[in-house]
Amino acid sequence: MNKPIRRATILVMALFALLFANGTFIMVFQQSSLNANTLNRRVRDEDFAQNRGSILAGDIPIAYSEPTNDRFKYQRKYSNGALYAPITGFFSYDHATTALENSYNGELAGTDDSLFVRRMVDMVSNQAPQGASVQTTIDPDVQKAAADALGDQKGAAVALDPKTGAVLGMVTSPSYDPNKIADHDVSAANKAYQKAATDKRNPMSNRAAREIYPPGSTFKLVTAAAALQKGLTPDSKVESPNRLLLPGTSTYLKNENGMSCGGDKITLTHALEVSCNTAFANVGLDVGSDALREQAVKFGFDSRHLDDVGGVASRFPDELNESQLALSSIGQYDVAASPLQMAMVSAGIANQGKVMEPYLVSSVRSPDLQVLSRTKPKEVGQAMTAENADALKQMMVDVVDNGTGTPAKIQGMGVGGKTGTAQSDPNRKPFAWFTALAPADDPQIAVAVMVEDADIPRADIAGGRLAAPIAKAMIQAAVKQ
């Protein structure tokens, strides 16, 4: 072989080696990123044509795939779409996936490693691959009761099992219909998405777990817990003037409507019953910012919860001066919480001070119903002693029996609760809150309700009036008397 031919041969061999190396590099190291590339329509077409598994609430499939005669083979459907949209999310062609459709995408699509054997069986038997089903913890009765009671009001409601952390209900209003965004008419689906995404009412916002708001007087439960942990009792007397000069300022903190709380000194229980601002501001100043912040963190503040649906962390501010501490003690200043977080506070009190991590999915099952994974309840921590939790629970019962929470009363059942009316901006209406637990003797449910924008006069907005009846409906749906 002469020298030119030998050089040409070596060059061709080198080019083949480089081609082989490049192909190997793409298949091994770039496959995932190329598959995920939004411009890769072949992969997207293949994904959109999969027979995805169902998402269930009880025995109701709230998301499922239905055979079609078009090029995508299977249409994703959502029963009661707007009701469960914050939980299921959507599966769309151009806008990917959200909520459980996203966090359990591998299992639902059948591509997760836990379904490897099943995929091999389907391939050998020439069967179309099927995805796993995802069983949620949602109680359909609680979910419907919350939505019906909330109605067209902008807001959210959450219900938890205090003993396990299982989410029994999670509703946000207004909502959207994921069926329209999942439609096989891609142009129509894109229009539906743009309409929902640009709607000023933010129907795609999960107000229950992904948004935080000033919790107002519902936060007084955290302040009361810190006070009990410091040594106060429900019968301890606390200073409760008609107005309190905020330390270091010329501003006075007043009670609701500028009213007296019943005397210059009242018991901690009575302060909670009438939601006395000045009393709890004084309690917070006595407890101190470090202890109050630590108490909030023990209930779950400053940590994310429900990653499955993109839950965000609630917030208790750092480096407070005394006036800021006084306001923070009544759930104002920069304190911000999701309805989920305030449900966790009531759940921790209901569960003898033990706070459980919330979860939305109880199990994942293969197409032949074998359990692939099961969620085990997980403890966040002990927020307060069992004795103090029982004492605070009874104080919450007194709020419903004798105080601001009477609209949540249920005949024949002990209900504990706390109202809240939170001011965020002088130019907007306050938020109406209510958080509760029931039955008081053996709590099976803890709830939090937030009404963001009620269509009533500003002066009529109050947690007891607006939010407590919604919580009551949820409790009645969960606890069969």
Find tokens 């927020």 and name the residue.
383
How far is the first Cα of the chain from the last one, in angstroms, to the nearest whole number?
96
Positions of E strands within 122-215? 133-136, 154-160, 167-173
Classify residue 428 by burial, with Cβ atoms within 10 Å: 0-12, 13-18, 19+.
exposed
Nearest by Cα to 383 from 224, 167, 270: 224
Q: By CB neighbour count within 10 A (0-12 exposed, 13-18 middle, 19+ buried), where does 276 fall?
A: buried
- Residue 296 vs residues 46, 110, 189, 340, 421: alpha-carbon distances, Å: 47, 40, 42, 14, 19
Residues 311 and 304: beta-carbon distance below 8 Å: yes
Rounded Cα distance, 292 and 284, in Å: 7
> What is the rounded CA–CA span in Å between residue 363 and residue 64?
16
Secondary element (H or E) of residue 372? strand 371-374
425 CB burial (10 A radius; 0-12, 13-18, 19+): exposed
- 331 neighbors 216 (Cβ within 8 angstroms): yes
Which of 146, 41, 25, 52 is closest to 106 using CA atoms? 52
250 as an active site residue: the answer is: no
Tokens coding 60: 């109701």
**Cα dihedral 138/141/143/145 (nearest 10):** -160
CB-based contact 444:458 (threshold 8 Å): no
11, two tokens: 């060059």
Active-site residue (options: 217, 240, 289, 328): 217
C-beta separation of 202 from 315 below 8 A:
no
Active centre residues (catalytic): 217
